[in-house]
Amino acid sequence: MTRVLLLLPTSTYRAEDFLQAAAALGVEVVVASERRQALAGLMGERALTVPLRRPDQAAEKIVELAGRVGIDAVVAVDDQGVLVAAKAASRLGLPHNPPEAVAATRDKALMRRALGSAGVPQPEFRLVSTDEQVAAAVAAIGPPVVVKPVSLSGSRGVIRADSVAGAIDAARWVRKILAEAGEDAGSPVLVERFVPGAEVAVEALLRGGQLEVLATFDKPDPLDGPYFEETIYVTPSRLPAEQLRRAHEATAAAAAGLGLVEGPVHAELRVGAGGVWVLELAARSIGGLCARVLRFGAGLSLEQVILRHALGLPLEDLEREDKAAGVMMLPIRQEGVLREVRGLADARAVPGIAGLELTIRPGRPVRPLPEGDRYLGFLFARGDSAAQVEHALRAAHSLLHVEVEPCASS
């Protein structure tokens, strides 16, 4: 039987969706994670513990397992596993991205340098380590700027600053967030020019170095800071055709500039009067549960598309369905302990709403960005137009009442 190894970090939202996709394809799954998964039926040789923070060691464990049971593809579902997947697939002779290209997607400084060398449009930036270097970077670039860690994802630790003093404070805050995340708090941080304009996300698939765009999402809520919490994604995009073309070309150029050749990519771009700028590009698909709004061809999920590509199975029709679709990542507004979310039934009853899933249970701590790394949940909608979808998401969200018990220090 065809067998795929899925790298599923314990923090991922996506285990269930990828397992369902594999089952739909009749593919046997081996799960690899940093801790043994408590998933029914995944026992013995079908569950593997690997050190995701040590990619070479993790890849070697996968190679050893493949020698015993055989593995036809290695797929990472989130950022934490992409480098492990590339290294393991390389050693097994399976289709893969060059590990050095994937490593650049996991380090924003490496990414900026690679994109700069390739001539890909991106924000002007400086890599800084001291308060004096932060001040010099702001003076050179000009405020406003965005201060961010070279690691982390999901807008965690990404902060806008409108002055030298604000940027210095932001850099200190970023280092505190890094320490809390178990990362090196002494590592350099990025100071980038803030680029105004609309932000879009491009979801695409690389096949032999050729980029095929699967969907483009608008982000209708302005992302102007001071933090950059993403909320609503809606597809198809309402941008003019010429701007969309340039966004897709920039995504392809970024993937090529990094050296990526196979598998899903997720790009974040700013589109304004002055052009298109690549903010980031990841060697994986869209995060959280957002992929649930996408359907292709004869009803294929994005996870099925990714698995079919990794296994070399036919992918003849990757046209997205005609319906407009969208997702809202439910924001966390206050730090504390989640007590209750009321209005769930009313939100689900809003016309156009296709689903609502909370991903944090009552009694669990919650924390907003820039420190937080989770969303309260996901709200899904479908409709005849992007405007209808956006309206449904906003209407449903307005009916939710979130009760958080503040922390003693809040």
User: DSSP readout, 39-71?
Assistant: -TT--GGGEEE--TTSHHHHHHHHHHHHHHH--
Binned at pLDDT 50, 70 and 90, residue 407 comes out as confident
Domains 3-104 and 323-410 share a fold: no
pLDDT digits 0-9 by tens, 315-354: 988 999 999 999 999 999 999 999 999 999 999 999 999 9
Q: Per-domain residue ranges for the chain?
A: 3-104, 124-193, 323-410
Homologous superfamily of 323-410 in CATH?
Answer: ATP-grasp fold, B domain (3.30.470.20)
User: DSSP readout, 287-333?
Assistant: -TTGGGG-EETTTEEHHHHHHHHHHT------PBPSSEEEEEEE---
Mean pLDDT of the chain: 94
As its CATH architecture, domain 124-193 has: 2-Layer Sandwich (3.30)
pLDDT at 273: 77
Angle formed at CA 289 by CA 287 and CA 292, multiple of 5 degrees: 115
Q: Is 410's pLDDT higher than 50?
A: no
Q: Three-state DSSP class for 193?
A: strand
Q: What is the pTM (predicted TM-score) of this model?
A: 0.94
Binned at pLDDT 50, 70 and 90, residue 162 comes out as very high
| H or E, element range at 165 | helix 164-180
Domain 3-104 has CATH 3.40.50.20: yes
* Average pLDDT value for residue range 115-126: 97
Q: Is 40's pLDDT higher than 60?
A: no
pLDDT digits 0-9 by tens, 276-311: 999 999 999 999 999 999 999 889 999 999 999 999
SS3 per residue for 231-257 = CEEEECCCCCHHHHHHHHHHHHHHHHH
Q: Rounded distance, CA 54 to CA 65, Å?
A: 17
| Per-residue tokens: 95 | 């289709």
| Per-residue tokens: 60 | 């070697």
Yes or no: say if 393 and 400 are a contact pair by the CB < 8 Å rule.
no
Length of the chain measured in residues: 410
Binned at pLDDT 50, 70 and 90, residue 45 comes out as low
